[in-house]
Amino acid sequence: MQYPKGKLIAIGGAEDKGTDLEAGEINRNNLNFFELGILRRVVEEAGGIDARIEVITTASTIPYEVGDNYMNAFGKIGCTNIGVLHIRNRQDTANPEFLERIKTCNAVMFSGGNQMRLSVTDGGTDFLAILKKRYQEETGFVVAGTSAGAMAMSKTMIYEGNAARAYLKGEVKMTTGLGFIDNVIIDSHFEKRGRFVRLTQAVATNPSCIGIGLGEDTGMLITEGNKMEAIGSGLVIIIDGHEMMHSNIADIPDGNPISIENLRVHFCEKGNGYMVKERKFLMEAKDGALIKKQVHVE
């Protein structure tokens, strides 16, 4: 199969409006990551401030607030052509106006919320098929997503799993995501919510997949469905289970601790990268001149 010509931008989240937080989380965060360049990068990849970007609020339970936040955020960057698609259910995905808009925009941005709302609403729809076809065939088409919107990009998706109990088999619940990319599992809010063990359990039971743990205000720009470049102010943690030796996970009942020998782990900061198929850490993800436009903000 030809590699996809479009780009994915998976963002670890920092606003997360409308998400049910895990126990231990105190505050909902405000939409603050765009200051540090991630939304600006989305805009650049989509073609600049005149690009048409459609924000898809499906994952959120407070879509109007989320939509307004993105309008404001993109507005501050100088964007003039942002739309919001409040797709709440499968019927909405067939709305001819919405279908027309996703056929003609330069980028879509999936908001945060609950990733299962995305897979259940969009799975198997023409709406999703159009997005996937455009992503596959059109150079310059961008599919961005934050938090739940990032987690839903992969075919194998975590939909639930309390971080503190994730060392127990069965506590990390998997399903099928939107499937823009195979062979990875994406997790979000990674350091803040202490999700290393959660993503590791997902990788241990799906060892063909590379775990991509996105920190807050941090993302991965993915080109050719394979080459990743870390963007933003935090870390992307890569978990590679291909060299896994002993693991008890297939043999123990649910509720017991999982054991695993030999994971390979990398920490990527901005500018580092990773090649999924080659399972290779990149010190410098040379994805063209855009890297140089990224500016450190203290």
Is residue 167 within 8 Å of 33, Cβ to Cβ? no
Of the residues 167, 182, 224, 226, which one makes contact with its own copies according to CB under 8 A: 167
From 238, 241, 218, select the one nearest 150 (Cα to Cα).
218
- By CB under 8 A, is residue 234 in contact with its own copies? yes
Number of residues that bind its own copies (CB under 8 A): 45
Q: x/- string (CB under 8 A) for its own copies, residues 8-27?
A: ---------------xxxx-
**Taking contact as CB under 8 A, which single stretch among the options 67-75, 104-112, 191-199, 285-293 is the one that binds its own copies?**
191-199
- By CB under 8 A, is residue 61 in contact with its own copies? no
Could you say which residues in the range 246-275 bind its own copies, by CB under 8 A? Answer: 246, 248, 255-270, 272
Of the residues 44, 101, 192, 224, which one makes contact with its own copies according to CB under 8 A: 192
From 283, 284, 279, select the one nearest 263 (Cα to Cα).
279
Strand 173-176 and strand 156-160: the pairing is: antiparallel
**Taking contact as CB under 8 A, which single stretch among the options 41-49, 66-74, 84-92, 185-193 is the one that binds its own copies?**
185-193
At 238, give phi and psi (nearest 5°). -105, 130
- By CB under 8 A, is residue 227 in contact with its own copies? no
At its nearest, how many Å lie between its own copies and the CB of residue 146?
18
> Which residues are known to be catalytic?
147, 189, 216
Q: Edge-to-edge strand order for the sheet containing 82-85?
A: 82-85, 53-56, 107-110, 142-146, 7-11, 218-223, 227-232, 273-275, 280-282
- Alpha carbon distance 207, 270 (integer Å): 26
At its nearest, how many Å lie between its own copies and the CB of residue 288?
21
From 163, 189, 159, select the one nearest 10 (Cα to Cα).
189
Residue carrying the six token digits 């073609």: 47
Nearer to its own copies, 13 or 177 (CB): 13
At its nearest, how many Å lie between its own copies and the CB of residue 29?
12
Those residues with Cβ within 8 angstroms of residue 129's Cβ, 6 or more apart along the chain or in another chain: none
- Alpha carbon distance 205, 288 (integer Å): 35
- By CB under 8 A, is residue 163 in contact with its own copies? yes
Question: Footprint of its own copies on this chain (CB under 8 A)?
Answer: 23-26, 163-167, 191-197, 200, 215, 233-235, 237, 245-246, 248, 255-270, 272, 281, 283, 298
